[in-house]
Structure 1
Amino acid sequence: MHINVAVVQATPVFFDLQKTLDKLESLVIESARQGCQFVLFPESFIPGYPRKFTFGASIGLRTDAGRELYRTYWENSLQLPSPELKRIEQIARDNRVYLAIGVTERNVLNGSLYCTLIYVSPTQGYLGKHQKVKPTGVERLIWAEGNGQDSLRVFDTEIGRMGGLICWENYMPLARMSIYQQAPHLYLAPTADARPTWPATLQHIACEARCYVLGSNQFFQRSDYSEAYQEFLADDDNVLCRGGSAIVSPQGDFLAGPLWDQEGILTADLDLNEVLKNKLDFDVIGHYTRPDLFDFKVNVR
């Protein structure tokens, strides 16, 4: 099976749910016009990854202004289900594409936020989600930890099996193995990591999983924040996120990207037969395992 995929590197309309959905729709339309059947968006594209925000917090101290900023972030995050999710389902349906979108998910029961990757089918609508199981560093101030039942899943679709992890979850070997065990064709790695070393991480995962790896990041500049948010930034850098999105083959070769210092849509034609063919060399859940030596168990409760 050959499929056409797109990886979006773009700037959301920060902290504005409705305007970001407008931009997402235009990017999906553009990808569909290029013949793409699947589109991946970056980590917390909705309503934006709050890079270098302090939320007015330090050890032993939180400010009222920081709490107000959290409230704004919460109100512009995505609720599941919601009218906004229905709109995303309609966008997928109208353009006949599968979508995987990094969002900040709000929980109306406990008031917490989660870093989430949602999956949407053009025919079935919302398929499910992956919640980040371990937010990194100060991310723990704003994002709760995801649960295993929702988080570590691969979805079997008409264009292949797809699943993945968010950002530095991909440095957790056991988390990766939980995805590998479900034999994805497309391993998704939306991120906020714009270091020059990140593309090598995508290559390593491709060689380890022997499948296609799609990495998506935002391109973000200080000017993309409104004046109201400037006081919460930790430093004076202009370019806050360089990007680095890429599409990688099962042998670890770049098929598109890495893309730096600009917005753009990367596309590639993928032959899913390559996933099977490359199992000859290495199969992390097959002939390259030693179940007599190693035991692996995931607690999804």
Structure 2
Amino acid sequence: MVRRMPQTQQVRVAVVQAAPVLFNRDATLERVASWTARAARTGARLVLFPEAFIPAYPRGLGFGFIVGSRTEAGRRLWQLYNEQSVELPGPAIDYLGGIAREHGVYLAIGVIERDHLTRGTLYCTLLYFGPDGALLAKHRKLKPTGSERLIWGEGDGSTLSTVDTPFGRLGGLICWENYMPLARTAMYAKGVDLYLAPTADNRDTWQATMRHIGSEGRCFVLGCNQFVTRDMYPEEVLREEPLPADAPHILSRGGSVIISPFGEVLAGPLWNEEGVLTADLDLGMVTRARLDFDPCGHYARPDIFRFEVDERERPVMASLRQEAAPAPAPPLPARSR
């Protein structure tokens, strides 16, 4: 039986809308430290950063992919992106844990995670750190969207993670995973109270998505995006692949927002600038909202619908080792006395 921590009814949360130092992991880690300190000074106990904050969401870049071929410049750009990504475990994880510990906050941040075995596959990952600095959980994006599929691998069900805190259960999905009805259902079924939705989507329609999830899941929703302009791209990137000539100056205008369990806007949306959004959440509102609608409780119909999630880990190397392992030797015959 899963037991929850005793809950405090009030908590201040913060959403950071900022830009990384694109394609520079170490400099971006310093930005995370600075922005987390700023958010913590407001009294926030949970701080959320956007999707792919370390080392970058590579908006506007194609990495030299053409159907049937790849360019050498694209391969060099991929190498830079790969080398600036984050491995678990590793120094960047230790540094992020130190930031959470220094400020006594729960820290959730989007990173590009490099597979520590092959070093040739990247995942779009959401990391959760506790106020003691421990890495509590990670979630790998299940389905990269569009051209993201060229540069990121797919996660599996083993990282549909939640984290229990004194102020409720954290969980969530990354960007357009939030358009996957069954992925949302998996989060609701885990009893998520604070639903995290780091994203790269800065459309007006994303605001409707955030409000819908709040209403559907009867949970608080923290939407978090970057604010990025084209002049933030480093020369070493643009030498390999210039941005399209018609790309606007503001490549991502943000739109970070905090939503109530009734789908109401509590803070934001924040547009066209960097900043920190905060809101004081009354966790009792989650309970009150579920009086008349609990999507995986009294409003579910298990007599009609069946829902199943495969949460087994699917590591390729482990599968290969299993297949290559020799068959067990037959037992030795009993020795006569």
TM-score interval for Structure 1 and Structure 2 normalised by the shorter chain: over 0.9
User: SS of 1:280's equivalent?
Assistant: coil
Which of 48, 54, 69 is the matching residue for 1:40? Answer: 48
Count of residue pairs the alignment pairs up: 300
Letter in 2 for 1:272: L
Distance 2:178 2:156 in 1: 16
User: SS of 1:87's equivalent?
Assistant: helix
Per-residue CA distance 1:124-167 (angstroms, 9 max, x = gap) = 610010000000010001000001112x1211122310000000
Is 1:117 aligned to 2:126, yes or no? yes
User: SS of 1:49's equivalent?
Assistant: coil
Flag structure 1 segments of 5+ consecutive residues without an equivalent: none
Q: 2:137·2:162 contact (CA, 8 Å) conserved in 1? A: no
Residue equivalent to 1:272: 283
Flag structure 2 segments of 5+ consecutive residues without an equivalent: 1-8, 313-337
User: SS of 1:283's equivalent?
Assistant: coil
Distance 1:80 1:4 in 2: 29
Q: CA deviation at 1:197?
A: 0.7
Is 1:129 aligned to 2:129, yes or no? no
Letter in 2 for 1:247: I
Structure 2-normalised TM-score?
Answer: 0.87
Q: 1:79·1:105 contact (CA, 8 Å) conserved in 2? A: yes
Q: 1:244·1:260 contact (CA, 8 Å) conserved in 2? A: yes
Q: 1:12·1:20 contact (CA, 8 Å) conserved in 2? A: yes
Distance 2:139 2:290 in 1: 26
Which one has the largest radius of gyration? 2
Distance 1:190 1:233 in 2: 24
Percent identity between matched residues is: 56
User: SS of 1:45's equivalent?
Assistant: coil
Is 1:149 aligned to 2:158, yes or no? yes
Q: 1:131·1:147 contact (CA, 8 Å) conserved in 2? A: yes
Question: Displaced runs of 4+ in structure 1, greater than 4 A?
Answer: none
RMSD: 0.9
Q: CA deviation at 1:198?
A: 0.5
Residue equivalent to 2:230: 222
Residue correspondence of structure 1 range 167-206 to structure 2 within 5 A? 167-206=175-214
Distance 1:181 1:232 in 2: 44
User: SS of 2:208's equivalent?
Assistant: helix
The 3 A distance-change label for structure 1 pair 239 and 113 is same
Which of 306, 320, 324 is the matching residue for 1:295? Answer: 306
The 3 A distance-change label for structure 1 pair 226 and 124 is closer
Letter in 2 for 1:172: M
User: SS of 2:60's equivalent?
Assistant: coil
